Structure 1
Amino acid sequence: MPTELERPYPSTFSIVAWDGDAREWGVAVQSKFLGVGSVVPWAQAGVGAIATQARANTRYGPLGLELLRSGKTAREVVEELISTDEGADSRQLGVVDSHGRAWAFTGSSCLHWAGHQVGEGFSCQGNILAGPEVVAEMARAFRESSGDLAERLLQSLLAGQAAGGDRRGKQSAAILVVREKGGYGQLNDRYIDLRVEDHPDPITELVRLVDTHRIYFFSLHAGKTYPFRGPIIGKLRDAFVRLGKVEETVCADRVYQEVLDWGRREGIPEPREGWINHDVVLSIFRALQDRQ
């Protein structure tokens, strides 16, 4: 068994956040570490979300959620967890509770640069980073971005990477978003639970996986808006070809125009430029099913 000092050190940047309107809680993370999604993110619908990292104490996940379920605030949870951990100086922790209150902790022995930024409904934290600008840009991107919680978490990760990210490089990424009955068959709360275990560009790959999730689990995304990008373009092009609306060789701009026209005919609210309303996608897919 490896000793504490022999264990790989998951240099990491992450965000924990909630969406009070949608009642969603989530964590997104990137690290120069294999399979970071098995270590850092923890969340439960109606309870909160936790990111445990640096020389991560994975007991913080289940214990923290238990404390949140008991009614403790994010700050109380952080303070209680670190107060009973002899290795707290090497831990980093971000928590958001059931009411969107956030709190974080960065131990004094976390490797430079390490720190966090707490805002309304979120906390960004990281260690072994290019500098404080990484978490600052993550926080800015989350505050200023549009879309659902998953999209805003992704935008935060992308901004952190663009600001320099992890000094050691890139390897894995993960996103976990929970909401009541949000999972497959409405049998659990795991609305989005996706991981990139080992990849040269893990955040970009994570974005692709989230976009793909919107296609294959399309009924879970009703009422959402998101960017018109990635695999949804090809999926909608194929749908319009089969519906006799376009030729197979049409460009993405033409596909996007068809999506907008479809939404207008159906009386579905039009999103910001370059985005699509998922209710339009649902309408298109249902029309295709009716043809079969």
Structure 2
Amino acid sequence: MTFSIIARCPRSGQLGMSVSSSSPAVASRCAFARARTGVVASQNVTDPRLGPAGLDLLAAGATAEEARDILVRTSEHAAFRQLVILDAQGRTSVWSGEKALGVNATVARENVAAAGNLLANPSVPERMVDAFLASDVTLDLGARLLMAMAAGQEAGGEAGAVRSAGLLVVDREAWPLVDLRVDWDEQPLERLSELWSVWQPQMHDYVVRCLNPLTAPSYGVPGDE
């Protein structure tokens, strides 16, 4: 009931993920990222514990493949899980257990990987990865991830209608640079793109406001001087 893509931008070092599903609040359960560490997508019959556990393994020095192997070996119900993992060096790994739902598929390349279950067809992850790799490398990682998600939707996406979506990007700080979610909507990916268009022009301003308010730009709202 989910399709997702994780990626690293070699230009900026940013790491991120986008995901969509027919179930509600997908990003809150499936998307995990840590600056300068990696990204873990935990999906299918979701076990959100695998996300932080995978990031801790990456932070301790495991590669994406090593983290996957440890999670699969130590998870009691790995057969039900789908994992997509990216480390800070751009290495990727994927896992689909034998009990992954419906039509499911994974694709792993350097700096990008995608996966899905209950898909309309098995080509969806490959179309997403191809779209990401073909996108303009000078664009923000968030924009490139959304382009890939649109390509996945155009390729058929999930077999049923999707209702939630999310975009998560980490940069240099401990908190996300981007953490946008549409938790229940008739067109969640379209709404997510609209949220991105609002957030993207000012996302770095909020980092500056945290690190040095004296140099921060104004908020541009009534009462702000």
Q: How does the TM-score come out when normalised to structure 1?
A: 0.69
- 1:72-130 per-residue CA deviation (whole Å, 9 max, x = no partner) reads 00000011001111211110000000101000001111112101000110110000001
- 1:49 matches 2:35: no
Question: What residue number does 2:165 align with?
Answer: 173
Note if contact 1:214-1:221 (Cα within 8 Å) is conserved in structure 2: no
Question: What residue number does 2:98 align with?
Answer: 108
Note if contact 2:40-2:54 (Cα within 8 Å) is conserved in structure 1: yes
- 1:84 matches 2:74: yes
Question: What residue number does 1:99 align with?
Answer: 89
Within a 5 Å distance, the mapping from 1:109-258 to structure 2 comes to 109-146=99-136, 147-181=139-173, 188-217=174-203, 219=205
% identity of equivalent residues: 34
SS at match of 1:190: coil
SS at match of 1:212: helix
Q: Which runs of 5+ in 2 are unaligned?
A: 209-216
Question: What residue number does 2:65 align with?
Answer: 75
Amino acid paired to 1:151:
A
Distance between the aligned counterparts of 1:168 and 1:97, measured in 2? 31
SS at match of 1:123: strand
Amino acid paired to 2:153:
Q
Q: CA deviation at 1:20?
A: 2.1
SS at match of 2:132: helix
SS at match of 2:39: strand
Q: CA deviation at 1:214?
A: 2.2
Q: CA deviation at 1:136?
A: 1.5
Q: CA deviation at 1:189?
A: 3.0
Q: CA deviation at 1:217?
A: 3.5
Amino acid paired to 2:156:
G
Note if contact 2:31-2:168 (Cα within 8 Å) is conserved in structure 1: yes
Distance between the aligned counterparts of 1:15 and 1:90, measured in 2? 19
Note if contact 2:105-2:117 (Cα within 8 Å) is conserved in structure 1: yes
Distance between the aligned counterparts of 1:127 and 1:144, measured in 2? 24
Q: Which runs of 5+ in 1 are unaligned?
A: 1-10, 182-187, 223-284
SS at match of 1:30: strand
Q: CA deviation at 1:148?
A: 1.7
Distance between the aligned counterparts of 2:27 and 2:93, measured in 1? 21
Distance between the aligned counterparts of 2:106 and 2:114, measured in 1? 5
Amino acid paired to 1:36:
V
Note if contact 2:7-2:17 (Cα within 8 Å) is conserved in structure 1: yes
Distance between the aligned counterparts of 1:64 and 1:91, measured in 2? 13
Q: Which has the higher contact order (CA 8 A, sep 6+)?
A: 2
Q: How does the TM-score come out when normalised to structure 2?
A: 0.89
SS at match of 1:140: helix
Distance between the aligned counterparts of 1:136 and 1:54, measured in 2? 18
Note if contact 2:132-2:144 (Cα within 8 Å) is conserved in structure 1: yes
- 1:156-204 per-residue CA deviation (whole Å, 9 max, x = no partner) reads 11000001111121100001000113xxxxxx43100000000101001
Which is higher, the Rg of structure 1 or of structure 2? 1
Distance between the aligned counterparts of 1:155 and 1:22, measured in 2? 18
Distance between the aligned counterparts of 1:62 and 1:78, measured in 2? 13
Q: How many residues in Structure 1 have an aligned counterpart in Structure 2?
A: 210
